Amino acid sequence: MKNSNNQKKAQLEDVAAALGLSKSTVSRAISGKGRIKAETRERVFECIRELNYRPNMIAKSLSEQKTYNIGVVVPMDQSENEAPFFQTCIAGIAKGCAVRDYDAVLIGTERDNLSQLTRVIENRKVDGVIVTRPVSEGRIEMLLSENGMPFVVVGKSVHADSVIVDSDHVNGCRELTNYLIMSNPADRIGLLLGSTEYTVNKSRYTGFASAFEKSGRHFNDRLVFTEVDSEMQFSKAAEMLFREDPACVICGDDMLCMRLLSKLNELGKSVPQDVKIASFYNSVYLDSYSPPITSLKFDAVKLGTAAAEKVLDIIAGVGTETASLMDFELKIRKSTI
């Protein structure tokens, strides 16, 4: 069923003939209109990829009054800690959109400035939106809902009508913290976490705290630091942390962890001989560090692809679950052994 570059461009009727379906059935499967079995839709999209079929999207968008664009809300004020996650998540979103002949369009926002998103909504430049970093107040979701814009949130949302796709941060962080409680003095386990304005960090803190509660032990407040975003905040937190001589430190994400490892190197401290280190988010940086860092592995590409599929299903009028949780993998490595 392969289609080489030397062959003529595949047409709708070619897809229909290859599958033994009518042109109208194939067209409905592509547009998402009408009742089409999920199995049939999957067969149609697989055949489209095999034949490299590409609809005339300009004519299609004009006739259907669609843009075939999905807006991806990304924070302009993101810290370097968050960059790896956004890069991989957006790659997954682009992948999920491309399968359905949609394009992903980046929309920059700041904590107190949603003007670009507002302009995109008012001018109807996108058919739906994916929110990649929800804040606890739910301002973005409220704006989208008020304007009737289909949307999906990557992460938790305070907005009751939100469809969400999220990694299971609470259970993952609880499991990692519990492992460390079992192998270290509970009152000597530290935490470095970014801004709890963002729901992902709230989930991480919830998992951390609930592990202590479940074990019947208490964490040492002098070793727990949140709102660690800037270099100045990190330096102050690290200084206060090491005054208390922690046995183990958990970092909220991979980039905070890399900062801490650099600080330990400056202090002449070895991992894990002097202090054990773990991270609530894994990356290639932690995989390649010596020793490799104990961490939680989440599939950000899969997360982004799932978000794209959900918002496109909403646009097509296909029913979808309101909440989906992606699993995690706890990777125990030499940094905590």
Cα 13 from Cα 18, distance rounded (Å): 8
Please state which CATH class domain 12-55 belongs to.
mainly alpha
* Neighbour tally for 127: CB within 10 Å: 22
Structure-model confidence comparison of residues 161 and 61, the more confident one: 161
**Domain locations along the chain:** 12-55, 64-167+300-329, 169-297+331-336
Q: What is the pLDDT of residue 7?
A: 53
CATH topology of domain 64-167+300-329: Rossmann fold (3.40.50)
Q: 56: pLDDT confidence band, cut at 50, 70 and 90?
A: low
Q: What one-character DSSP code corresponds to residue 10?
A: P
Query: How far from the centroid of its chain's Cα atoms is residue 9's Cα?
Result: 36
**Exposure pattern of 223-235 as b/e (b: 16+ CB <10 Å)?**
bbbbebbeeebbe
Q: Which of 266, 267, 289 is nearest to 277 (CA)?
A: 289
The per-residue pLDDT for range 7-50, each reduced to its tens digit, is 567 788 888 999 999 988 888 787 666 677 888 888 888 888 88
Structure confidence by residue, pLDDT tens digits, 95-129: 999 999 899 999 988 877 889 999 999 988 999 99
- φ/ψ of 137, rounded to 5, equals -80, -15
Q: Do domains 64-167+300-329 and 169-297+331-336 have the same CATH topology?
A: yes
pLDDT class for 57, splitting at 50, 70, 90?
low
Q: What is the pLDDT of residues 227-251, one digit of tens each?
A: 998 899 999 999 999 999 999 999 9
Residue pLDDT, tens place only, 169-183: 999 999 999 999 999
pLDDT confidence of residue 133: 76
CATH class of the domain defined by 169-297+331-336: alpha beta
Q: Report the alpha-carbon distance of residue 189 to residue 197 in Å, rounded.
A: 23
Residue 110 to residue 112: CA distance in whole angstroms: 6
